[in-house]
Structure 1
Amino acid sequence: MESVSTSSVMDILNLLKACCSQSCNYIMTYGGTFSSLASEVGQLKDKSSDVKRDVEAATRDGQTPRSEVLGWLSSVQDMEGEAESIERKYNQKIKCLCSFPLNVCSAYRLRNRAEAALATIRELKQSAEFTKLADNLNLTRSIKMPTTKTIGMDKVFEELQRHAKDDSLSVIGIHGMGGVGKTALLRRFNNDFPSETEADVVIFLELSIDYKLEEVQKSLFDRLSLTWQDEVTHRDRATKLFRVLSTLKFILLLDNLWEPLNYQVVGIPLPAPPSKCKIIFTTRTEDTCSHMGTEKMIKMECLEEEAAWNLFRNSARMDVIDADKNVRIEARDLVKECGGLPAALIVLAQAMAPKKTWEEWMHALTIMKDTPHQLPGMTNNVFSILKLSYDRLSSDNMRVCASYGALFIKGSWIGKFNIRNSWIGEGIIDNVQNVMDADHKTQFLLGILHAASLTVRVHDDYFTMHPMTRAMILWVQRECGKKENKWLVWDRERVEEAPAAEKWRDAERIALVWNQISDLPEAPQCPNLIFLDLQVNKFLRKIPNGFFLHMPLLRILELQETSIEELPVSIGNLMQLHYLNLCKTRITSLPKEMTALVNLKYLSLAFMKYLRIIPDQLISSLRELQWLIMMDSYSGWKEGQSCEGGVSFEELESLKRLKVIGMTVSTLAALQNLCDSPRLAPLTH
């Protein structure tokens, strides 16, 4: 019985020894746990600082931190507090030698607490790899814009939508003349943006004509709900915009772009296909599309006749059109005068809405043909819009080039060779080496006008001008309607009488083309007249003797296809004349007074089958002459030094500035003399 008791006591003692040994070892080594805890907390704090900094940056950029990120930061903050509490209690313990705590039980509990915290901290570290810190949930995806009717634009709208869905296209340019509906189209695209599209945000910006960089950046900051600071530099703002937009699938709509926008300077990331991001802009100038890196250009055309009629009818309710057939006929003619330009159609519809009688509609048609600016709204809502394109041309010379389109009949095809000759007379095309150089420069200048939507290319050799653009230019040149006689343009109006002499006094340009005029004023006072075009007045047989006496500034005189048989001696008064076209007239002899035309650069005597006499030394006196056109005309060239009568080739050779000659020779000897002239032969056409 005694041995059993001794054995049991020994077992108990051995068990207690083992337990105490493990506990003592656990307590003796607990300092390592607290060291690991301090290390892990330090690493977690570093990671937390990085996440906080990124979240703060995202918040400044208008983004909303994600809930999981905020929850993680909150848990980190809690664990930092727990670790500080554990460390504080650990340091407060009164320890004996070898760091053995005097209160073993409390030390045991503190180590368990530290190990639990250590495990939680390690879990937080592992879960800190976030794919996305913040969302843009505070952004309004799109903002509706007020817009006008887009009747007749469904086809081009569908084209725009199709290109916008094409991931291979990132930059799309919409170009066309003022008032054609580009803004209405873009606003409709903004308002009808499909909800299923993956874009995060649709941004619509309407730019001012001479926009500033700061203006564009401010608009983007406002739309993205970013904080604007005046003291921040343009570059820093661009960096911020770039960082924010780079995280978004954005659709940027830029309306009314006059000059190319530098994406980099503003801070707009240029999407690289394939991409859901898009930059879509409207402009009047085709050149802007090229400079903006456009991958697809959409040309906005004026409306076809039926679409124009529908827009007109839907822009203002007019029961009188349905009720009165005669009014409907006049209404149709009025609509045609607008040339399918939506801005003009809407203004016209609003102006005509209160008109109830046929007589009112007839009068309105007369106004629309002659002085459309007199109709309500036409000046402010049509001409002023179109004038912006005219004013934005690079120079006065380019505005003169554009203005020539208004001197031709409405809707006509204008030949580039006709316009070239007039520009030579204006001095815009000067000192060219040959015909080809002149043609190239003409085509280049026309290209500028086409790109600015002021003219329309219809063929390689022809262009036209929209009727409302033509009307706008006439309005501008007449000092916004204040001086109707400043530009007198009667083209193919079948008039039989020239304007009365008093109308010529204020005139700068007069075009009386393709009419039935037979008589001209005797000696009109024209102190400002620069341009006079009387061509294709086949009943005009005589120009009064004193007709040119009071035209000191006249530079361009067009008499082609008139029936005149002689020029009056007063032609010698036109000292500033640069261009004279006598083609297809019945003149038999040039007056010696033409020797006074010392500034003449272009002289056309082509197809003058009756021309027999050119006075001696007349040609050589025209020392500024660059173009001499005489095909199928005078052929009385001197064939040798001793010959009398006719014009010698030596006279032509004396013209140092002569660049182009078109001539007829009727004898072999004259042809040989021409071929033997190293000066004339290369210039002959």
Structure 2
Amino acid sequence: MILGDIWTILRDCFLCSFYVYGYIRDLEEKVNTLSGKKGELQGVYGGVNGRVQEARQDGYVPRPTVLHWLGYVQDDDRNQRVNSLLQRGVDEKAKLCLRGHCSWNCYSAYSVSSKVVRMTDVLPGLIETGNGFQDVADPPPPPVVEMLPEEITVGMESRLNEVWGYVQDDSVRIICLYGIRGVGKTTLLRNLNHKFSNAGRNFDRVILVESHTDVINIETIQLVLKYRLAIPNEVWDNKNQQGRAAEIFQRLSQRRFALLLDDLRGPINLAEAGVPVQNGSKIVYTTIMEDACNAMGDQMKFKVDCLLPDDAWNLFRLMVKDDVLNSHPDILELAETVADLCGGLPLALITIGGAMANRRNRDAWENAVVELRNYPAEFPGMGDLILPRLKFSYDHLRSETHKTCFLFCSLFLKNQLIRKDELVDLWIGEGLLRGSHNIAVARMQGKCIIDSLIGVCLLEEVQTYFGNYVKMHDLLRDLALWIASQDEGNKILASKPENDELIIEQQSVTWNEAVRVSLWSFLVTSLAPRPFSLWRFFKKSLTTAPPSCPRLLTLLVRYASMKELPEWFFQSMPALRVLEWSRNGNLTKLPMQKGELINLRYLNLSDTVISELPIEIKGCCKLIILLLDGTKKLKAIPKGLLSELSALQVFSRVPTVHYKSYKDKSSVFGVSVSSLLELESLKHIQDVSVVLSTLESRKKFQSSSKLQSCIRRLIIKTPESSSTSSITTMLHDGDFQNLQDLFISNCSVQYLTCLVKIPLLRFLFATNCPLLEEIIANHQAEEPIIGFTHLKQLNLNGLPELRSICGSAMAFPSLESIYVSQCQNLKKLPLNSQSGKRNTVLIGGEEWWNQLAWDDDATKDVFSSKFIRFSDFPNSNELEPCYTYEASVMKRYSIML
């Protein structure tokens, strides 16, 4: 028994000694391991901390877990203990004896070694955590208030202060602003939004929801709230409307917010959108219906009245200008009378004041007084106040052509952006402009008419870096339709987005009377096309016979769901001049019988999936404009068809989406040699847009000075490698006076210096050109470059040898954007501090941006705020340009919207 206990003690002592001996023996190794792990951790720390600092410079917010890890790793007390322990380890190594197998102080050596082991065991976890941080920061939160451009506020200061008083009253949570259209409710709401930013009120978020199409509903409100609350797509996309409402409610319940809703058309249950009604938060909205205020349980109703006489006069005088008012002794008194007849309605004051801004003749002002006093009142609010006054501006347009062009704009939806060039071509197609035998002259006249309509406020110009557009205010569209309904020569049948199916019942114009028909719709929740069935419209007014449309001149149909049209569709449209059927993505066939559409002047089948053109189009001998852009399913154009269109002036068939969408299939758009020969043979052809996808087509194009002078949009994309001389010679020697868009791909060119000679070039896209080194070569920095004055977009992709765009900075007075991708050797842009004064946007990758060299820090700072990173978008393809300028503009606009 005693011997057994003694043996156990001796065994345990031996094992303990052996265990201690291992720590003493491996002391040096363990100290070295700790020192190495410490260094590795410091390296990981440096990388993470660098990423955090860079993210902070970009405005990103570091994640709390990352900051906690950085703080723990860099804790001074802990680091001091580690350093002290390493020093003790060094000291203990000096005490080792027997070749490191023992120590003069075994206990001290063991103690240090064991602490080193424990400390070493902690570091791998920290290293692994640091290496595991994929994202160290999150995007900055949305601003509390989104600032908008200030608007004219003459006479609105007192009412703004009164509404602001209700906002400051903590007992008032919901405020309704109601009044007739055009009275300034939207301006008041926007200035209220601006006042939130200046007043310093403690609101976590101020959210403005405006009606950009026709009506605000639950979906519209939820989409704006998603953006303003920064709800991630991965959270949003997986929920239905009720789930999204719950997500919004959870986020808003934690904030003090102000929700501003513009132009509600009826009561909305905000709880269905997820908006809580809680103390401290505010909901302010505008409406034309007082009943909506009562239905939504508002605590404060505020009627927005017309301006008082003094305020109305000040606004009117601001629009007319004093030099006009003082141009004749009697004009001032007459102008005061005209201002009084506007009834204090801001929209009428601005519109009529704009119309009279250049009237320096006394008779014109006296006549204005007489006309304003004699307008009838048909509809309360709209009929007796707004429409008669707005019609005054219409009546004073300089010609009947101006008036008809204005009415034509009502074919587009309310507040819809309308491309200027598209609108002008539609006018030309219907024959509204003189000189239609010369498309250039007619387009010039069309642009002048647009400028005139903008000048008297009947159209609103919208200019952003996305492009040049106009839009028609909803009241002005109502005016145009009201006028057209009383004009036998301008009867318009137009769809209403809120209820397409009621078009036949609700319109005062019938198919038999209609001169123009517009059928399309937009889904308000996403500002995206919503398909509808055109057949539903017809079956409400007919049984088996086609609709009788003997007077129809223009038929505009977009986003229709039908694949084919009935064979009899065009039989009763003998006068039809404009057939605008673009963006009908399901349309596979266009039915035509011999002898139909003989008066057609404009045909647009872009972005349809038609597989072939009917040979009967040969009979359209008056056709001026033929647009086939984006028709990726269309087979070769029948031989001999184009040559029969003797009046044709505009032909276009190019892709409409971004270039990678077609991959290597863009050759389906390639024009054949026979089609080029037929286009060349046309006497009146002036505007051509084509894809050259074969060597033969390029050779034919290169040999035709006529086609070169007509080309407006040119895409050069061939599967075979092209020699440098063939492309550069064509561009250098050709007469490209009308070329606006140029896309070059798969071409072995080294330089594109010859492009400076192209006067109207606005869009340049060079991609997958492996030998391209410079855009403008051999240029001395001290010599100014004259050229590229109209260039709006410069797109460069897949150019591994590209080193320079130009040797010195260029003016680029019209440049909107520069897109760079996969151009690793392009390290300097031809921009300087003067370039920074324009709204030029740079688009590219973070790595490319970081390697750019700048002339000075000021230039870099300016363009830093205008740089759009690929990483800012989940899918970088969203930013990729298209084959042409218009398509690129619309794509980027829809993304940003």
**Which structure would you say has the larger RCO, counting Cα contacts within 8 Å and 6 or more residues apart?**
1
Larger strand percent: 2
Bigger Cα Rg = 1
TM-score per shorter chain, which class? 0.3 to 0.5
TM-score by length of 1: 0.45
TM-score by length of 2: 0.35
